Amino acid sequence: MPDGSGIPRDGGAGRTVRTTCPYCGVGCGVLAETGPDGAVTVRGDPDHPANRGRLCSKGAALAETVGTQGRLLHPHLDGRPVSWDRAIGTLAAAFRHAIDHHGPDSVALYVSGQLLTEDYYVANKLMKGFIGTANIDTNSRLCMASTVAGHKRAFGSDTVPGTYGDLEQADLVVLVGSNLAWCHPVLHQRLLAARRERGTRIVVVDPRRTAACDEADLHLALAPGADVALFNGLLAHLHAGGHGDAAFVERHTDGAAGAVAAALAEAPTPERAAALCGLDPAAVRRFYDLFAATERVVTVFSQGVNQSARGTDKVNAILNAHLYTGRIGRPGMGPFSVTGQPNAMGGREVGGLANQLAAHMGFSATEVDRVRRFWNAPRMAVREGLKAVDLFRAVEDGRIRALWIMATNPAVSVPDAGRLRAALSRCDFVAVSDGFADTDTARLAHLTLPAALWGEKDGTVTNSDRTIARQRPFLPLPGAARPDWWIVSALGRALGWADAFAYDRPATIFREHAALSAFENGGSRDFDIGALAGLDDAAYDALTSAPWPMRAGEAPTRRLFADGGFFTPDRRARLLPVTGRPPARARSADFPLWLNSGRTRDHWHTMTRTGRSPRLSAHTPEPCVDLHPADAARAGVTDGAVVRIVTATGTALARAALKDGQRPGEAFLPMHWTDRFTGACVAGTLIDAVADPVSGQPELKAMPARVEPVTLRWAGCLLSREPVEPRHAGYWARHAVPGGHVLALAGEDAPPDAGALADLFPGLSPAGADTVDYEDRRRGVLRRAWIADDRLAACLFLAADGALPSRDRLLRLLAGEPLDAAARLAVLSGRSSEPAAAEGRIVCSCFRVGLDRLTAAVRDGGLTSVEAIGRALNAGTNCGSCVPELREILAAVREGAAA
């Protein structure tokens, strides 16, 4: 078999390749180019419908995250490199053994919305059609499952009715549990551009003030979980005011009376809804009146809705309001679930969730039979498989004996991650496919398989508005890395299904996937891309972005449901009676805060890629927990201090960040940090696994917690060329900087002395390395430089009083070389504390402009607007992701001047 690469081994230097960003579900088009020296450059594709040339900070830094550094380049069995033959043989033997002795349900795949559609299709086919189990679930269970379930309950199908253009044609956009400014930045930019032209109103529904509130007309900082009450109150208000679309409701829906009755029972008045949500009644009334008075409303929703023990009810409460007013499927209106991962939507299309079969079909006898005939499948799964939380419980209690994890890092991202880690370490056989060698999950695997990554992979993805786009390779496969579809197909053949898994290229798989979507469809299923089933290889290579459905022989449909035509048996949508409930767990005297978790602007999930980029790491170099100042004061915690976060399932160490925009009684922790980047701050270990009963999606945003002060006896920082992982039980956090890494450390125990450094930093004293020490025990100061080949390899500063050199000075040290004798001493003899850094924390990552420089320029240069900052420093003029923060700096300087 060929190696599955679309690129010659010598690379494709000089070509410009049109591809799609591998991060969020906006799905921006990217033009990538490899120079003759191998250097990669990326820019936004001006012709792509999603972004029209724009990229956010993450997309703009893509070139920094490709390359072979840290990559897994060969299969490894029990830590030793092995051939692909051996690796596939081992995988097949483990699966075969479990199936023979314990049945097909004893094996499982846990996959990801970061697989390409072709990878996903083959994995799903292998499990559900050939191995004969539906025990394949995906990280979309943590992400989109409640939306899928809510869509299916209301529409009879998992359909996003609208398009990105609707956000530009709307007069009111409601963002519910969505930090669009940071998580879908280019879409947010499009919304803001439209707002400047047509005055679009924006309402944000989120317990905390986020960057998306920056240009909002109204922010409803509701109590966590109160969304159902808020939207029930809206439905009751729409009903009372006669704002329903009686004709649409009559012709195209069912259940409106019951839904309205439930809404009236829970929140008959805006005042009652406000009380249930912990909001100001006037603000709630304003939202309801805006909604009632505006025809063109788009309600965007994301993880604040989905990641809840009542996520499906939240989704249906939103859909109810749109169905009741007939605001769906027409320009500028509709409910709009934005997908997170680049191919979250594609995964739903192929049936990657354990409760879906394939191509938007479920497990009815007719559907199972239809797919059996299409695949010519020997052993069909006939019922739903285990959903993520249950799947990992089955690993824990031994029902699942062989598990293969692909393109996801569950040791970090699954709730109750500590329990999951214990379960994996007890499992008979765990395989992990990843592009990187050292992830928290890979450390628990028997077999690791080197996967091709973005830039090397070839296939398709579907974004939030159903647009199918190509990812194209522009880099050769590194080492023995292979695309995921290649690896899965190899297993399929090794298990004996040579014909069904004879795939030699993504185009073949895509044609089959397209054909299945149209197979015995006849308009009965929303997902149909039959028009693409006949693409030849050249046409597949040249495929331009286009939305589904694409039925063969029919004109393309851009929006759905304006004239009904839902995918229920009677073609009517369902309004569901739903009632709000508090989050699954209650706060207590011991755990007085709700722990919320989510994303920061410049990191992507578990940081395997963005953690490599100095540019992206500069925005939030260390893990921070956001607290309201009143909660911090109650806990005895100050801004910037290291604090301990404690929940019923775990503890973590992070720096406190005091924010007025936090809802009192709520803390927010990013989900990004892993054991590879910090001592102990994996959000997933702090959160219990309680799932929505309908969708199986776990609640990730409301865990009872407390925050405790930590008394530190010393602090330090290590600057190194190579990443160093300290053997340190206290606080540490590492981030990439130009030319190396900065590791911040702090401890509650006695500070380490020179003799303890070899233990603290294993691997930092290679043969031939010199060390130069400076120690002042009285002042509790210890410094060491490691020098190899006249270059500074690493440099440590420890101080009992916490006085350390500035970040700018550390960065200058990495730049200054080679080191002569004088320079060696100078490294250590510098004053222990420095004047304030000129740059400060990076705010604009595109042009590397820091907080201190911005503050000084605004204050001393008399800058009064974001545009003026842009003219003076360039900040904010490229991707625009930092504009909300620029506005905050302007306000802070203004307030400072007024005080």
- Enumerate binding residues for Mo ion (CB under 5 A): 143, 340
- Residue selected from 585, 701, 783, 807 as contacting ligand MGD according to rule CB under 6 A: 701
**Cα dihedral sign for 120, 125, 128, 131?**
negative
Provide the minimum distance between the beta carbon of 191 and ligand SF4 in the complex, in angstroms, as a whole number: 12
Q: Total residues contacting ligand SF4 (rule CB under 6 A)?
A: 14
Q: Residue 336's beta-bridge partner residues? A: 300
DSSP symbol at 131: I
For ligand MGD, the binding residues in 484-513 under the rule CB under 6 A are 484
Report the partner that residue 55 touches, choosing among ligand SF4, ligand MGD, Mo ion, none (CB closer than 5 to 8 A by kind).
Answer: ligand SF4
Q: Within its chain, how far is the Cα of 357 from the centroid?
A: 25
For residues 265 and 280, give the distance between their C-alpha atoms in angstroms, rounded to a whole number. 20
- Residue selected from 75, 340, 549, 577 as contacting ligand MGD according to rule CB under 6 A: 340
Closer to ligand MGD at the Cβ: 618 or 793? Answer: 618
DSSP symbol at 140: G
* CA–CA–CA angle 465, 471, 473 (5° rounding): 170
Check residue 117 for interaction with ligand MGD (CB under 6 A): no
For ligand MGD, the binding residues in 124-143 under the rule CB under 6 A are 139, 142-143
* CA–CA–CA angle 881, 884, 888 (5° rounding): 140
Report the partner that residue 854 touches, choosing among Mo ion, ligand MGD, ligand SF4, none (CB closer than 5 to 8 A by kind).
Answer: none
- Residue selected from 55, 323, 333, 645 as contacting ligand SF4 according to rule CB under 6 A: 55
User: Per-residue contact track with ligand SF4, 185 to 224, x per CB under 6 A?
Assistant: xx--------------------------------------
Measured N-to-C along each axis, helices 227-240 and 311-324 cross at an angle, to the nearest 10 degrees, of 20
Contact 120, 346 (CB under 8 A): yes
- Residue selected from 7, 28, 338, 883 as contacting ligand SF4 according to rule CB under 6 A: 28
78: left (phi over 0), alpha (psi -120 to 50) or beta: left
Closer to ligand MGD at the Cβ: 435 or 805? Answer: 435
Check residue 159 for interaction with ligand MGD (CB under 6 A): no
Contact 335, 161 (CB under 8 A): yes
Report the partner that residue 434 touches, choosing among ligand SF4, Mo ion, ligand MGD, none (CB closer than 5 to 8 A by kind).
Answer: ligand MGD
Contact 301, 336 (CB under 8 A): yes
- Residue selected from 65, 124, 596, 617 as contacting ligand MGD according to rule CB under 6 A: 596
Provide the minimum distance between the beta carbon of 230 and ligand MGD in the complex, in angstroms, as a whole number: 8
Question: How many helices (H) and strands (E) would you count in the chain?
Answer: 30, 34
Residue labelled with tokens 């969020």: 24
Check residue 109 for interaction with ligand MGD (CB under 6 A): no
Closer to Mo ion at the Cβ: 152 or 599? Answer: 599
Closer to ligand SF4 at the Cβ: 59 or 549? Answer: 59
For residues 809 and 835, give the distance between their C-alpha atoms in angstroms, rounded to a whole number. 10
**Cα dihedral sign for 592, 598, 602, 606?**
positive
Closer to ligand SF4 at the Cβ: 28 or 173? Answer: 28
Measured N-to-C along each axis, helices 145-155 and 311-324 cross at an angle, to the nearest 10 degrees, of 40
**615 phi and psi, to 5 degrees?**
-60, -45
Q: Residue 647's beta-bridge partner residues? A: 705
For ligand MGD, the binding residues in 387-406 under the rule CB under 6 A are 406
Question: Residue length, the chain?
Answer: 899
Check residue 302 for interaction with ligand MGD (CB under 6 A): yes
The three-state secondary structure class of 801 is: coil
Torsion, CA 573, CA 238, CA 244, CA 330, rounded to 10: -70
Provide the minimum distance between the beta carbon of 461 and ligand SF4 in the complex, in angstroms, as a whole number: 10
For residues 236 and 548, give the distance between their C-alpha atoms in angstroms, rounded to a whole number. 35
Closest CA to 574 of 322, 815, 302: 322
Q: Which stretch binds ligand SF4 (CB under 6 A): 184-192, 479-487, 628-636, 659-667?
A: 184-192
Provide the minimum distance between the beta carbon of 495 and Mo ion in the complex, in angstroms, as a whole number: 31
Closest CA to 151 of 530, 466, 597: 466
User: Per-residue contact track with ligand SF4, 667 to 696, x per CB under 6 A?
Assistant: ------------------------------
- Residue selected from 5, 19, 34, 51 as contacting ligand SF4 according to rule CB under 6 A: 51
Closer to ligand SF4 at the Cβ: 391 or 846? Answer: 846
Q: Which residue is nearest to ligand SF4 (CB)?
A: 59
Sheet holding 40-44, edge to edge: 16-20, 29-34, 40-44
Provide the minimum distance between the beta carbon of 619 and ligand SF4 in the complex, in angstroms, as a whole number: 14
- Residue selected from 7, 17, 26, 411 as contacting ligand SF4 according to rule CB under 6 A: 26
Check residue 27 for interaction with ligand SF4 (CB under 6 A): yes
Residues 6+ apart with CB under 8 A from 684: 411, 412, 413, 414, 415, 416, 417, 420, 671
* Contacting positions for ligand MGD (CB under 6 A): 24, 112, 114, 139, 142-143, 176-179, 182-183, 205-208, 210, 224-225, 227, 302-304, 307-308, 340-341, 406-410, 412-413, 433-436, 439, 451, 453, 457, 484, 596-599, 601, 603-606, 608, 671, 683-684, 687, 700-701
